[in-house]
A and B are shown apart, each in its own frame.
Chain A
């Protein structure tokens, strides 16, 4: 059962899937189709990464109901293709890419998707060349730059990735996703001072997000030293103030206070 969770036990649900579409069931099938499309739209807008579900629902939509989707189909192709790359369904990704290429021949967005597929197949040099060609046409294209950096990260070259990301951020100072990624890379390298800097940028742009406060407090706590512990306590308290239910911040507050 695709719509409701597997094994939902609803009698009419199994009825739809097991019987062939007769006139009685046509209306019900149409309802199922709109639900699938709406689910996909909700996942797209909320940026969910539930790739298995997207692949299931999307594949069915594309194969059975392509004509009814109209212009929506192109964005669904993109969404399903990225999910297919996550589930290593290369066949599905290839079909989606072909359709998109046919419809939008010169598009930068489609080129980026082609590059992502090459990345998934681990052909990193080809992917890198693809992104370079996008950047030649349009130097302000942030998506291609970020994909190049993620290639470096996938290859495990974290020092180079950090360097490239720094250069990217010098030019595009406002990209919060990138700041967060950089803080994660620094934490992996145990460079807590710089990670704290990145998190400060994030806290400034999103002052009401308790998760950034909490991460910052954790980094400060890991750095150690009396000043940092005091700062850490204050930021755990701030995270708790912003969201009373943040258990991790509460625990952090307890740990810091018992260490000071």
Chain B
């Protein structure tokens, strides 16, 4: 069955497609600045800072331990991993997962996140749907099944219309996700208008309880450190140095006259 090629009024392009792009973009920028205003300071405790640095030190010991003498490496490994009083064996941090109920600041953070991101999206999506209804806006380049019709063709009641022709509401949603790269170009990385990142964070962030992590992180570091061996990088360094010539070009400005020897 031949697919009829619809010719859309160019007024649609001028008065629908472009305004929706502008609206989405401007709303995104406004959201970014509002999120900056509403940001609450994250206070780090001394313990958290200290723990993160200890973990970094242990990791560096594993990676670069080969540059220090064997004795020193073993000394540090012993300090971390010793059975009786090693650091990783002994330090247990209090495990308090920050659930929204117990930690009021987390609750307000979640609220703010919802308000700044989800609410405007719903409001503006609905407004656009109401304003720009009754006509098709654009055609998506890939064929869609009929199941998508009620979702993407909100105001249009034609049964025979291809599902690839979508209404303005779906164009709005396309914009919301598509302008993400524009935002990072204009507002710099890590901007508040980046919705998909926030949704990803919400999916994975619910399980991110930091204090419990430190215990597990310590255990993981202990195991990794047990497994590391010390291969001294300086084993044959003198031979290596002697085998190559030193590069002393351009160091001496002029030849000194030889003395009376």
Q: Which residues of A contact B (CB under 8 A)?
A: 139-140, 171-175, 196-197, 200-201, 203-205, 207, 231, 233-235, 237-238, 240-241, 244-245, 250
Contacts and interface: CB of A to CB of B under 8 A. Distances in A.
A208 to B, nearest CB: 9
A249 to B, nearest CB: 10
B247 A231 contact: no
B234 A240 contact: no
B238 A233 contact: yes
Given A172-B49, A197-B72, A237 B64 contact: no
Contacts of B46: 139-140, 171
Given A204-B65, A238-B234, A244-B248, A171 B50 contact: yes
B65 A238 contact: no
Given A197-B72, A204-B68, A241-B241, A174 B57 contact: yes
Given A173-B54, A237-B234, A238-B237, A140 B64 contact: no
Secondary structure of the B side of the interface?
helix
Contacts of A245: 247-248, 251
A245 B251 CA distance: 8
B237 A174 contact: no
Contact of A241 (B61, B68, B240): B240
Given A140-B44, A235-B234, A238-B234, A204 B54 contact: no
A173 B46 CA distance: 12
Contacts of A196: 72
A234 B67 contact: no
A205 B60 contact: yes
Given A171-B46, A197-B72, A207 B67 contact: yes
Contacts of A201: 57
B138 to A, nearest CB: 43
Interface in B134-152: none
11 contacts: A172-B53, A173-B56, A174-B53, A175-B53, A200-B69, A203-B68, A204-B65, A241-B237, A241-B240, A241-B241, A244-B247
A238 B248 CA distance: 16
Nearest to B62: A204
A163 B245 CA distance: 45
B170 to A, nearest CB: 43
Given A237-B238, A237-B241, A238-B237, A203 B54 contact: no
B56 A174 contact: yes
